[in-house]
Amino acid sequence: MKKNLVIVESPAKAKTIEKFLGDGFVVKSCFGHIRDLNKKGISIDIENGFKPIYEVSDDKKKVVQELKSLAKKAETIWLASDEDREGEAISWHLSEVLELEESKTKRIVFHEITKSAILKAIENPRNINKDLVDAQQARRILDRLVGYELSPVLWKKVKPQLSAGRVQSVAVRLLVEREREIQAFQPSSSFKIVGVFKHPNGTFRAELDKKNEAEKEVYGLLNSFKSCQFEIDDLTVKPSQKKPSAPFTTSTLQQEASRKLGFSVTRTMLLAQKLYEAGHITYMRTDSVNLSDFALQSAEEVINANYGKEYHQKRKYNTKSNSAQEAHEAIRPTNFNKKNVPADSSESRLYELIWKRAIASQMSNALLEKTTIAINNSQDKPLFKAKGEVVTFDGFLKIYLQGSDEEQEETFDDLLPKVSVGDGVMNEKITATQRFTRHPARFTEASLVKKLEELGIGRPSTYAPTITTIQKRGYVEKEIKEGKTRNYTQIILQAQEIKAQNLTEITGAEKNKLSPTDIGKVVTDFLNENFKTIMDYGFTASVEKNFDEIAQGYKKWSKMIDEFYDPFHQSVDTTLNHSARATGERFLGEDPQSSKPIIARISRFGPVIQIGKTEDNEKPKFANLRKGQTIDTINLEEALELFKLPRIIGNFEENEMKVSIGRFGPYVLHDSKFYSLNKELDPYTVNAEEAIEVIKEKRKRDAEKIIKKFDEEPTLLIQNGRWGPYISFGKRNYKIPKETDPKTLDYESCMTLIEEQNKIPKKRKKK
DNA sequence: CAGTGAGCGAGCTTCCGCTTGACTT
């Protein structure tokens, strides 16, 4: 019988720690919070000092049962959850639910999973810090009050199933405001003037130190350069340094994985979880940039051995964000000697990124030399300037270059020729290119996480789920935006001649960027109008201050909640009783046929165009907005287009063909089967002949899909699908073992496979 | 891959932070 029971949050952590502690200790995990506010209803007794009503949820009952029986038999129970607000609460809930005796219970904490850290923790146990627990309860109760009182307001005033909360509503607000900045943005253009200069030691490019707005001005300038003499006016050489970035936290890992590997935040976290469970990396949900002494030392050894002593520089990083709770280390490899780990390709690419970033964080600065050459001219016009950058010692750049969200400015030559002040240079060519200012960038998942972290909103464990939630609620979409072509002018002076040419470029193409939907905008406006406090970017920071005071014992949690709840609940009441429905209604014009008003608005089922009023005798006509159309931007003409579908375009095999646009794009409906129209075919103009072609092609493809048919059973088919060959029988599909050639299967062997797989119970589907 | 779209009323939805499952068509 083990005398000691240690409880930690994560099973992977339990496994590691058990090895360190040896005999006499059993280490178990509680899988995070074991108890929470009841899911149904608000579950807070508001009249009685906001007493929370907790319950052990169904999926935690088994764990709790097991821990309870182990705790009964143990002499000492060590509560080793994380040392932060949530971790303290987990320990407290454990002690309550498991009914632990105080004399048998010890609370311990450690920030790194090393043997010495754990043994030290065991030597220094303490009691549960009730103030910290109260701070967590205040956090929990506040979030429940906000979420469960605001959401129903939206159900009533906007659309059912919507949600609002301290974190998600502000995240959507960020996107809405950015989108409006983009919409209001007016690009302006100017000419960037670059000259190519020849010096006995080499040819290089230099940019004119002034942007010119008007084309006329550019011609004047180029003309005056025709007869110009150029010489080196000034030369500066400045040494500079680049520092490596801190090792990864959850948020910076998500950002770099998005920039460098193109992973969504969810994908990054899934892969990191696998690496963590395999023991390759430390915990992946952290806000700390701290490295343990063990890590510092082994990074040093690896750097010295692989790159040499001059590449090592020991560094300790400090966390900037003041909302950080630092219960863990930074994300790093558990073993720096492993530059690669055996895993699938995405996992190993993520691991390599983590390895490089952590190692680079302990490497020396890169040393650079920045050179600027200024060229004057005999016409007293602005100077041309050439900028060059040479790496004199690569340092950490040997292995890691940090990504950036901003688009890179066009870079100039790395290496400039050796020149001296007073040297004459020959001008070979001057190119003036029209450039346009760019609207602020839309957020990516990762750059939104970065912004939220800066505002102190959300936690490492919630960044990815929050992004998922706002998309699931339909507030935000990840859209592929096709670029538009734009004309621009280039004016070139070469061999005493000025030539202009008109060129085109593609601009504004975007993918994986987040943009708010109409619902997102309407909900944000509605909440901004009625719940200013909650929507304030500083709201979380200000309540965090209160939580800190509670944690330090200066303030009672119920008092804080009381102060918050009174005015909040008041505005909920006022809004419910006095506020009109929020529909985002916009008048587009009159219908040329019926002269009825046409409006765009949110209906119960999303954004629509409505012709006529609901109070009219004749029922109004409705049409849903398409993908890419928004209430803000749609015009009358586009709105009228929407009413031209569905179209009946003729008959085929005695059945009617109906063309329309559905969830998956344009389609032809024929004999109650759907045929998608390809991109070349426009649903508004497609004719019967073209549609018949589409139908025939689809039939041909479907026929090719079938590998084998059986006379014994017409619904039994071997087909070729997206994931390879499979058996379909009745309404269900069945796998074919990898080693089997599908062509060789006969009727009996198919039925055996089906029977085998029918034995495995079908799991309930998630809704 | 429809059609719904008002308002009533039944009963449903919803928050944020800790954790990892068990599903594969």
The answer to whether A582 and A522 are in contact (CB under 8 A) is yes
Cis peptide before A646 (omega within 30 of 0): yes
> Does strand B come within 7 Å of the CB of A39?
yes
* pLDDT for the residue A763: 42
CA–C1' nearest nucleotide, residue A283: B19
The reply to whether A13 Cβ lies less than 7 angstroms from strand B is: yes
| Nearest nucleotide over every DNA/RNA strand to the A154 CA, judged by C1' | B14
**A487-521 pLDDT tens trace:** 999 999 999 999 999 999 999 898 899 999 999 99
SS3 A585: coil
DSSP symbols for A9-63: S-HHHHHHHHHHH-TTEEEEE--S-S-EE-SSS--EETTTTTEE-EE--HHHHHH
CB < 7 A to strand B: residues 465-484, chain A: 465-466, 469, 473
DSSP one-letter code for A178: H
Spell out the domains of chain A, with CATH numbers in brackets: 4-128 (3.40.50.140), 130-187+443-475+517-582 (1.10.460.10), 191-238+367-437+485-510 (2.70.20.10), 250-364 (1.10.290.10), 586-644 (no CATH), 647-706 (no CATH), 710-759 (no CATH)
Please report the beta strands in A412-483, taking only residues with DSSP state E, as ranges in sequence order: 424-436, 476-481
**Would you give the distance in Å from CA A79 to the centre of its chain?**
34
Radius of gyration over every alpha carbon of chain A, rounded to an integer in angstroms: 33
Strand B within 7 A of A606 CB: yes
Q: Are A493 and A433 in contact (CB under 8 A)?
A: no
Helix (H) or strand (E) holding A452: helix A445-454
Find out whether A41 and A112 touch, Cβ atoms under 8 Å: no
The runs of H, that is alpha helices, within A596-635 are none
The answer to whether some atom of strand B lies closer than 7 Å to the beta carbon of A683 is no
Positions 81-100 in A, CB within 7 angstroms of strand B: 82, 84-86, 90
Q: Measured at the alpha carbon of residue A632, what is the angle toward residues A630 and A634, in degrees to the nearest 5? A: 60
Residue nearest to nucleotide B13 (CA to C1'): A161
Asked whether residue A764, judged by its CB, lies under 7 Å from any atom of the DNA or RNA strand B, the reply is no
A36 CA from B9 C1′ (Å): 32
Residues 651-670/A with CB < 7 A to strand B: 660, 662-665, 667, 669
What would the two tokens of residue A664 be? 């998956």
3 state SS for A221-277 = HHHHHCCCCEEEEEEEEEEEEECCCCCECHHHHHHHHHHHHCCCHHHHHHHHHHHHH
Q: Closest nucleotide to residue A146 (Cα to C1')?
A: B15
- Is the CB of A679 within 7 Å of strand B? no
Task: Show the tokens assigned to A314.
Answer: 């020991």
Q: Å from A573 (CA) to B7 (C1')?
A: 21
Q: What is the Cα–Cα distance from A295 to A291, expressed in whole angstroms?
A: 6
Helix (H) or strand (E) holding A393: strand A384-393
Query: How many Å apart are A422 CA and B9 C1'?
Result: 90
Residue A283 CB in 7 A reach of strand B: yes
CA A473 → C1' B20, Å? 24
Q: Is the CB of A622 under 7 A from strand B?
A: yes
Which pLDDT belongs to residue A522?
A: 96
Q: Is the CB of A273 under 7 A from strand B?
A: yes
User: Which nucleotide, over all strands, has the C1' atom closest to the CA of A669?
Assistant: B1
- Helix H or strand E encompassing A500: strand A497-507
> How far: A91 CA to B17 C1' (Å)?
14
Separation of CA A643 and C1' B3 in angstroms? 14
Q: Alpha-carbon distance A582 to A576, whole Å?
A: 12
Q: Please state, in angstroms and as integers, the Cα–Cα distance from residue A402 to each residue in A242, A248, A348, A397, following that order.
A: 11, 11, 19, 9
Is strand B within 7 Å of residue A216 (CB)?
Answer: no
- pLDDT of amino acid A405: 76
Give, in Å, how far the C1' of B11 lies from the CA of A38: 18
Parts of chain A with a pLDDT under 70: 1, 322, 407-414, 663, 722-724, 731-732, 758-767
Find which nucleotide's C1' atom is closest to A761's CA: B23
| A455 CB closer than 7 A to any strand B atom | no
Q: Are strands A665-670 and A189-199 parallel, antiparallel or unpaired?
A: unpaired
Q: How far is the CA of A732 from the C1' of B24 (A)?
A: 13
- For the beta carbon of residue A175, count every other beta carbon within 10 angstroms: 25
Q: What distance in Å separates the CA atoms of residue A528 and residue A523, rounded to the nearest whole number?
A: 8
Q: Is the CB of A462 under 7 A from strand B?
A: yes
Residue A718 backbone class (left: φ over 0; alpha: ψ -120 to 50; beta: rest): beta
The C1' atom of B20 and the CA atom of A273 lie apart, in whole Å, by: 10
Nucleotide nearest to A169 (CA to C1'): B15
Catalytically active residues of A, by annotation: 283
Residues 490-549 of A with CB under 7 A from strand B: none
Q: Which nucleotides of strand B lie within 7 A of protein CB?
A: 1-7, 12-25
Does at least one atom of strand B sit less than 7 Å from the CB of A155?
Answer: yes
CB < 7 Å to strand B — which of 161-180 in chain A?
161, 163-169
A604: nt with nearest C1' to CA: B5
Q: How far apart are CA A8 and CA A34, in angstroms?
A: 12
Q: Output the distance from A13 CA to B20 C1' rounded to whole Å.
A: 13
Q: Evaluate if the CB of A672 falls below 7 Å from strand B.
A: no
Contact A568, A149 (CB under 8 A): yes
C-beta contacts of A716-723 below 8 A and 24+ residues apart: A716/A747, A716/A750, A716/A751, A718/A742, A718/A745, A718/A750
pTM of the entire predicted model = 0.87
Looking up tokens 């995990």, which residue turns up?
A: A29
Nearest residue for B5, CA–C1': A603
Cβ of A11 less than 7 A from strand B? yes
Q: How far is the CA of A170 from the C1' of B15 (A)?
A: 13
Q: Does A627 contact strand B, using a CB cutoff of 7 Å? A: no
Residues across chain A: 767
Task: Point out the nucleotide closest to A733 (alpha carbon to C1′).
Answer: B25
Strand pairing category for A647-652 and A655-662: antiparallel
- Residue-wise pLDDT tens digits, A386-396: 999 999 999 99
How many angstroms is C1' of B5 away from CA of A508?
Answer: 35
Q: Which residue is nearest to nucleotide B12 (CA to C1')?
A: A161
* pLDDT value of residue A226: 87
Q: Taking the CA of residue A628 as centre, how many other CA atoms within 13 Å lie in the half-sphere pointing to its CB?
A: 6
The whole-number pLDDT of residue A238 equals 96
Of all protein residues, which has its CA closest to the C1' atom of B16? A143
